[in-house]
Structure 1
Amino acid sequence: MESVEGAVSWSDDTGGQRTGLSSGARLAAGTLNVEGASSSAQLRFDDGTVLTLTGDAELGFSDDGQKRLALRRGAFTGRVAHQPAGRPMVVRTNTAEIEVLGTVFALASEQNQTTLNVESGNVRMRRLADGRSVEVSANRVAVASLDVGAAMETRLQGVPPEEWRCSFNQPPPAGSNGLWLPPSAGKRGRMRSLPFVAGHDANGRMVVHHGVTVRAMPGEDSGLVTLTERSMLHVRFRTEQRTGLKLFLSCEGPGGTFGGNFELAIQPSAELPDTGGWMRVDVPLRPLHVLSPEEHPSVEGERVRTLILHSYEYDAGLEVAEIGIGQEK
């Protein structure tokens, strides 16, 4: 294990299981399970190939001279060293199989489709439903679904805007997590926080936070928003208890690969709430705390895929009416 953040466990076919994994742990062939939107894990093979799993993900892996992976759910980034001739790394999902000789790519699996982003090199993608395949080159995206009528083709990766806003007067975007309370009787629409697994403590106890999550779905290759040095968080919220909050961002780089996890502490404001208890906070993202500083020292140019606003370890009754990232004027 190269690095571990949050709740990560390993198991094998014989019933063996390890929890509370830490950096430096050596693992035999088996399955890595990453639990929780804010969790991630990096697995390094002896040849230098590094796989990074982010968010809720499950990956089976083995290497008997040829690497074979099974992405059962979620997403990962691969930085693959040159593989031996005739023995490419093979990755299988519910809907696709890909062959990798040596490249940098990102793969996301849903029940009905698989999305491949290639940052460098070339990757062959085969649709399992009919066996059709396509070569995916650098800075391009391909999708393999259950729909055999869809063309197997590639497209250029999208670039998200530098400003983004989400209001909950309308149903929340797909991939959101929280209890949606639609507008009624003059009350604004909002998302109420729900519990999520943030990791385990030193005693193995599960750590649970309560928050609202918005994420770009796996098939949306461009993310939610592109960050700059002038990016600012804008949020309208209320809580039942006066408390500080935390913002968690999981990002990807321009090629669609993992760009690091970041967080920002939001202290209680001296501003008084309005008559409905609502408060507005506008804070620059420059003081973001980098959770993986060696690889991803800056958020500039990164693209946000997952955003979580949460209280720490207890339910503060957080409700969010609007959240967005814009540019400092």
Structure 2
Amino acid sequence: MTAYYEDDQATLLLGDSLEVLRTLPAGSVDCVVTSPPYFGLRDYGTEGQYGLEATPAAYVETMRALFAEARRVLADDGTLWLNLGDSYSSGQGALNTGFNERWHGEGNSGQRKQEKGRPSRRRDGAEVAAARRSVTGLPPKNLLMIPERVAMALQDDGWILRNKIVWHKTNAMPSSVTDRLSNRYEHLFLFSKSERYSFDLDPIREPHTMRPQRRPSGRPVDAIPRPGQPKQTWSTATRSEVGVDGNPLGRNPGDVWSIPTRPYPAAHFAVFPIDLPLRCIKAGCRPGGTVLDPFSGSGTTGEAARQLDRRYIGIDLNPAYHDLAKERFAQGAFFFGDGEAS
């Protein structure tokens, strides 16, 4: 198909993600990094958009079918990094979880305010409960576990789930909700197509921690300080702290990533920090390889790929987002990310 935009590193394709994926050659990309529209979150005003399916089961099936096609396009040793947020059941079907309040300007309380302004007719409790269950199959206020449902569907469809990473938002906004705990993380799933796949831990290793030297009793050494030295002496991390490989480049970062959200000045609803795709691409895409994002949005994954000298293919249904990405790529500057349509 004809590219909406193309340069020596990036190609932007316009259209429905599933339909566009069907036009790409098998095994033509090395890594997929993406964050689809979340279930029941918002209407982007584009016909054919994902995320507005009638039920959680329908949304899960949409994701399963799309990523089955992405698996065909992915090289045999490729990886998929999938970021998904969750939703709560409500009288209108589903509500985004509280951690999206910062990103999208609405949360549980914001949604309720909008609903108060809508015309409505009084119904008894049984009728209301039946209407709510007809959408999600659950009573209101239930966390729908959408990320887990999608991950298990992909497993059943042949993907190998290697990690369930917790993206901890260090600057998550306070929530007005009072009958549960506020949400401060999202899931990032690492899938592989085959048992053996391209993965390089070294570029994302973290510095070894420094800990106080201790006596056999477990108490810190209380040495007499020399002039200009602190009272407590320190040593580098022990072998157990470094890990069994004792790698001098650093330690395994683990499956909890503490990364703040970042503002994006352009007209996009969500915030996907560039730090996430940078880390995924460093570990999961071979040097000189090609990164695919089926929900390209304003091109955060593409910007990360370009910074790391990888090629990029981005797909989006809305030409306005591709226009943002084009401007971003043309400027060649560092921008902070977008979000679920990364």
Bigger fraction of residues in strand: 1
Q: TM-score, normalised by structure 2?
A: 0.28
Q: TM-score, normalised by structure 1?
A: 0.28
Higher RCO (CA-CA < 8 Å; seq separation 6+):
2
